[in-house]
Structure 1
């Protein structure tokens, strides 16, 4: 078996939430909005299309022709604003499978990506893209099967709704959970289920508890969680590595350094998401499925 056929890697191309935040104070962690690439055997999975997708696209130009699966959590701008600038999408011969849940207003991911690229918001329409674009509606709670990869899905607690994803392959699991807000009196059952025994959990840690519960400017109801809640989830779900993700645009490198140190004290497997960071998921060939099917 070749090396690429047996690898499961996770690479971060955009780790910032809400709005791109370039500048001298975000150099170490990065200022691009969410985009995470998973190389699972010979399949490429891309989660969200924030401005990090543009950077990923530039790196892929030397690998064409391309086939990839692009899975959106939701269609808030910070998670899709890089799609119109994804250069491989404009190249004939490339193939992209695009997944997203139907929004509360009934619109599909295709409709929302199309609307984003209409006048007066953008100069050229979606139809200008020359790559083959195949759109798929995600139904939260139902799995997605891509060859021998199983991607489990669940609804998240976010205004306008969002979807969390768990990628299972050869006994390894990586989980992508953003954007979501924790509940005040219990751990989110959907988040716990997706996170169970995961090798890697990427979780929305936009705020600290102090910011979330601030008496002057609370963030309750804004649709995001805290790193302290992430630690609770990681411990309860027996996660190996917790990746603190979706950094607030106001959090500079020094602030994130401090968060990382404090989080690691509470959960030794906690690390901070950085652009270009690559993580390896350990794999094996399981004899049987050890987790209950939902």
Structure 2
């Protein structure tokens, strides 16, 4: 039997929520929307196709022909807008397995990705993509196995529905939990299940507690959480490294520096996601932060 490749790298290509916000105020943390790449053993997994997916695609042109697995949490704009600009999907010889749950209105992930590329929204249709695209409808709670990699999902608390993912392999685990709103009186059991004993938990911390509950501009019901709630989940679920993610576009680099300091004071093994940042789960615990490339 061939030896398994002891690799588990998590790299961040898009870390913002809601809308891309490039420019001088966000240059250090990045302005692209949600996209995360995981290299687990010999398998490449990509989570969400926000504008960061374009950046990843440019890098992947050096590795063709390639095969990868794309998992979508949901299809709000900031999680799919990079897909029409994912250059490797236009290249024959590449293969992509694309996974997503059925939306509440009954539409599949294929239908939703197709619809955003129809006139008058986009100049060319999805069908022009030359790569072999295989779409997979998955049920909420269904487990997907890719070689020795296990991908679990669970329903999150978000308008229009979203799912979080947990990726496990050879005793290591990373939880990707974005676009979820915490409950006022309890910790979300689905979130706790995804995060259980994870080496890395990537968590939706769009707001601070003060912003979330501000009576003048309350964000209650908007479907997002706070870094303070992320700390509570990390502590309750015995998470080794907490990653603050899905930054509000209104939060500039200086604001993010303050969130990083506050989060680390509350949970020392924490880091704020930056574009290009990578975590090595096989390095000494907690997961080692690799340089931004």
- TM-score range for the pair, normalised by the shorter chain length: over 0.9
- 1:248-263 alignment to 2 at 5 Å? 248-263=248-263
Contact 1:69 1:96 (C-alpha < 8 Å) held by counterparts: yes
Cα distance in 1, alignment partners of residues 276 and 114 from structure 2:
29
- 1:222-241 alignment to 2 at 5 Å? 222-241=222-241
What whole-Å deviation, never above 9, does each CA across 1:188-247 have from its counterpart, x for those lacking one?
000000000000000000000000000100000000000000000000000000000000
Match of 1:276 in 2: 276
Shift of 1:136: 0.5
Cα distance in 1, alignment partners of residues 154 and 3 from structure 2:
31
Shift of 1:140: 1.3
- 1:117-266 alignment to 2 at 5 Å? 117-266=117-266
- Indicate the SS of the match to 1:103: coil
Cα distance in 1, alignment partners of residues 63 and 240 from structure 2:
32
Contact 2:6 2:282 (C-alpha < 8 Å) held by counterparts: no
- Indicate the SS of the match to 1:61: helix
What whole-Å deviation, never above 9, does each CA across 1:239-289 have from its counterpart, x for those lacking one?
000000000000000000000000000000111000000101138xxxxxx
Match of 1:69 in 2: 69
Cα distance in 2, alignment partners of residues 113 and 230 from structure 1:
30
Shift of 1:141: 1.0
Shift of 1:150: 0.6
What whole-Å deviation, never above 9, does each CA across 1:118-158 have from its counterpart, x for those lacking one?
00000000000000000001211111111111111100000
Cα distance in 1, alignment partners of residues 157 and 281 from structure 2:
27
Cα distance in 2, alignment partners of residues 61 and 5 from structure 1:
23
Shift of 1:2: 10
Match of 1:51 in 2: 51
Contact 1:172 1:199 (C-alpha < 8 Å) held by counterparts: yes
What whole-Å deviation, never above 9, does each CA across 1:55-110 have from its counterpart, x for those lacking one?
00000001100100000000000000000000000000000000000000000000
| TM-score, normalised by the number of residues in structure 1 | 0.95
Cα distance in 2, alignment partners of residues 281 and 130 from structure 1:
34
- Specify every segment of 5 or more residues in structure 2 that has no aligned partner in the other structure, as ranges: 284-293
- 1:34-49 alignment to 2 at 5 Å? 34-49=34-49
Match of 2:91 in 1: 91
RMSD: 1.4
Cα distance in 2, alignment partners of residues 78 and 11 from structure 1:
18
Contact 1:154 1:190 (C-alpha < 8 Å) held by counterparts: yes
Shift of 1:4: 9.0
Contact 1:204 1:225 (C-alpha < 8 Å) held by counterparts: yes
